[in-house]
């Protein structure tokens, strides 16, 4: 490892975060929020001084010899340190009672979880709420991917960094240069965000509301500046727009690039996309039938509106809500609970296990059954037109096993706080899967404010580990990582 090189890159990353924090600082000035403005200015000063001192001692260190260990270290500590600095305005402004609460909130933002400790969201300064929503948007495509896209002159091995942060068992490289790939992905992300913001403006939302909702929709996150989330707007049009863009953010962004290249048929043949659309359609339709049959809503189309929105919200791990689904029939609730363990597509803004991994595990189960009947059969794991190599399928099986082990261990630890079983298991897995809302005390009408501080630190770790897909973080806890190579 090269500690000076890593510190140099971490300090540069904090300068980028400080630059982006300038937006809510300007808003605090515009809205005459004196305390919030003071907290942003103090935070910026702390970030700038710390970064400047670090760069002073590391500036002449070369950054073109980054090892795999350096990459894993840099990506993990980027999320830890960026969250530590970005949470300062929340704590210093008094909007959050403790630093643990502020750290939890920003980690929830950067990891696009959308879980909150706030009960009365609308009572807080608009600039503070904007900042937490902005962290959603920055984390959606990845803050390290943004770093690689717009700071290529540092000579960093971007392929390794993007691979350590991006989600999914396979990493799409759209162009020969990873910096171009990162820039393309962020460009598509920005275009979609602009489109949604404009559509929401047409739906009657204020510019502030449209931008903050867009931040959380396109990142598959879920922070909202209203206490009742998207349900506050009571608009079928807004529900449809947000549902569409939630689904768009949960799809693999590399498919949009292929569409721009005129490869529409190749996109339609994508096996993961077909399963993603199929899971959403079946779950939403079955839930709508159940809601209609139980007379939860007046007619089938109203039931479909709410069922489709909530299905998209949980499947894509966005975490918005338009209704309290804890009052829905048990069948509809169980469908949403099952979606907890699916998530979006690989290469998307969504969290969770990912559709391709769920589909692969089903294919492996089928192949195992066929092997029992035909021991000499030679079988391939195929997802659509894509044949997965044994190395990838083994990695997927490893990931799923570690994912559930981590979630269950989190459940066990959270249960020590005295909460009920539903709250324990859903709070653990919703943080690990970056989902945002769950069942029990962390349902649509609940929040994480009542948990003790030590629980919030556990949740923060689960959110980061889940966002970085476990192994990037867990590698730092092994002896092999810290051994010096000859």
Instruction: Identify the sign of the CA torsion 117, 123, 128, 130.
Output: positive
How much is the pLDDT for 382? Answer: 76
Q: 289, 306, 337 — which closes off a domain?
A: 337
User: DSSP label at 381?
Assistant: E
Question: Which residue in 147, 114, 32 sits closest to 433, CA to CA?
Answer: 114
Same domain, 26 and 104: yes
On the question of pLDDT at 428 being above 60, the answer is: yes
Mean pLDDT value of segment 395-418:
93
Confidence class of residue 423 from pLDDT cuts 50, 70 and 90?
A: very high
Mean pLDDT value of segment 446-473:
92
Each residue's pLDDT tens digit, 311-358: 999 999 998 999 999 999 999 999 999 998 998 898 888 888 999 899
Mean pLDDT value of segment 107-118:
92
Question: Which residue in 97, 164, 167 sits closest to 350, CA to CA?
Answer: 167
Same domain, 23 and 52: yes
On the question of pLDDT at 479 being above 50, the answer is: yes
The DSSP bridge partners found for residue 383 are 386
Task: Domain count for the chain, please give it.
Answer: 2
Each residue's pLDDT tens digit, 172-229: 556 656 677 778 888 899 999 999 999 999 999 999 999 999 999 999 888 999 999 9
On the question of pLDDT at 144 being above 70, the answer is: no
Same domain, 114 and 204: yes
- Cβ-proximal residues to 136 (8 Å cutoff; 6+ apart), any chain: 109, 110, 112, 114, 215, 216, 219, 221, 222, 223
On the question of pLDDT at 158 being above 70, the answer is: no
> Residue 382: what are its φ and ψ, rounded to 5°?
-115, 130
- Cβ-proximal residues to 15 (8 Å cutoff; 6+ apart), any chain: 47, 48, 51
H/E stretch holding 387 reads strand 386-388
Mean pLDDT value of segment 72-89:
91
> For residue 452, is it within any domain?
no
Q: 207, 225, 249 — which closes off a domain?
A: 249
Confidence class of residue 460 from pLDDT cuts 50, 70 and 90?
A: very high
| Range with the largest mean pLDDT of 49-58, 260-269, 302-311 | 302-311
User: DSSP label at 327?
Assistant: G
How much is the pLDDT for 436? Answer: 83
Q: What is the mean pLDDT of the chain?
A: 88
Q: 214, 249, 284 — which closes off a domain?
A: 249
How much is the pLDDT for 310? Answer: 95
How much is the pLDDT for 151? Answer: 55
* C-alpha–C-alpha distance, residues 327 and 451, integer Å: 23
On the question of pLDDT at 150 being above 80, the answer is: no
User: DSSP label at 121?
Assistant: G
Same domain, 159 and 285: no
Range of the domain at 190: 3-249
* C-alpha–C-alpha distance, residues 438 and 425, integer Å: 9
Mean pLDDT is lowest, of 15-24, 32-41, 107-116, 152-161, for 152-161
How much is the pLDDT for 486? Answer: 45
* C-alpha–C-alpha distance, residues 423 and 28, integer Å: 36
Q: To 10 degrees, what angle do helices 271-293 and 355-373 make?
A: 100
Question: Which residue in 219, 167, 160 sits closest to 190, CA to CA?
Answer: 219
How much is the pLDDT for 62? Answer: 67
Same domain, 35 and 124: yes
> For residue 131, is it within any domain?
yes
On the question of pLDDT at 446 being above 60, the answer is: yes
> Residue 306: what are its φ and ψ, rounded to 5°?
-75, -40
């Amino acid at each position: 490892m090269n500690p000076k090189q890593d510190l140099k890159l971490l300090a540069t990353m904090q300068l980028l975060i400080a630059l982006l924090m300038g937006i809510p600082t300007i808003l605090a000035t515009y809205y005459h929020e004196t305390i919030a403005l003071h907290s942003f200015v103090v935070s910026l000063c702390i970030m700038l001084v710390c970064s400047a001192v670090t760069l002073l001692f590391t500036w002449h260190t070369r950054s073109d010899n980054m090892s795999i260990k350096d990459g894993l270290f840099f990506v993990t500590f980027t999320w830890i340190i960026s969250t530590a600095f970005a949470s300062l305005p929340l704590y210093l402004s008094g909007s959050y009672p403790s630093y643990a609460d502020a750290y939890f909130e920003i980690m929830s933002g950067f990891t696009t979880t959308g879980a909150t400790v706030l009960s009365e969201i609308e009572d807080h300064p608009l600039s503070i709420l904007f900042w937490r929503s902005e962290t959603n948007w920055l984390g959606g495509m990845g803050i390290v991917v943004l770093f690689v896209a717009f700071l290529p002159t540092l000579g960093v091995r971007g392929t390794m960094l993007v691979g350590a942060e991006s989600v999914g068992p396979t990493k799409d490289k759209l162009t020969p240069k990873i910096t171009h790939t990162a820039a393309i992905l962020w460009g598509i992300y920005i275009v979609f965000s602009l489109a949604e913001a404009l559509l929401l403006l047409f739906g009657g939302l204020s510019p502030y509301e449209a931008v903050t909702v867009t931040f959380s929709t396109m990142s598959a996150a879920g922070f909202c500046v209203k206490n009742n989330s998207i349900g506050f707007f009571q608009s079928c049009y807004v529900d449809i727009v947000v549902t569409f863009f939630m689904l768009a953010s949960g799809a693999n962004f590399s498919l949009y690039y292929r569409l721009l290249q005129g490869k529409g048929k190749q996109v339609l043949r994508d096996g993961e996309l077909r399963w993603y659309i199929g899971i959403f359609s079946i779950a939403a339709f079955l839930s709508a039938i159940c809601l209609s049959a139980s007379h939860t809503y007046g007619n089938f189309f109203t039931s479909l509106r709410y069922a489709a929105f909530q299905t998209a919200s949980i499947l894509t791990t966005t975490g918005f809500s338009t209704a309290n689904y804890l009052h829905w029939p048990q069948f509809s609730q169980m469908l949403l609970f099952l979606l907890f363990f699916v998530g979006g597509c690989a290469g998307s803004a969504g969290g969770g296990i990912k559709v391709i991994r769920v589909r692969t595990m089903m294919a492996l189960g089928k192949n195992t059954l066929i092997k029992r009947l035909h021991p000499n059969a030679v079988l391939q794991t195929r997802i659509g037109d894509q044949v997965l190599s044994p190395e990838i399928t083994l990695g997927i099986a490893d990931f799923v096993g570690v994912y559930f082990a981590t979630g269950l261990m989190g459940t066990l630890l959270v249960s020590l706080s005295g909460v009920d079983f539903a709250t324990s298991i859903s709070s653990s897995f919703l943080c690990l899967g970056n989902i945002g809302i769950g069942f029990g005390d962390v349902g649509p009408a609940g929040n994480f404010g009542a948990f003790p501080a030590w629980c919030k630190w556990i949740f923060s770790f689960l959110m980061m580990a889940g966002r970085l897909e476990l192994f990037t973080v867990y590698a730092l806890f092994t002896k092999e990582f810290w051994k010096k190579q000859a």
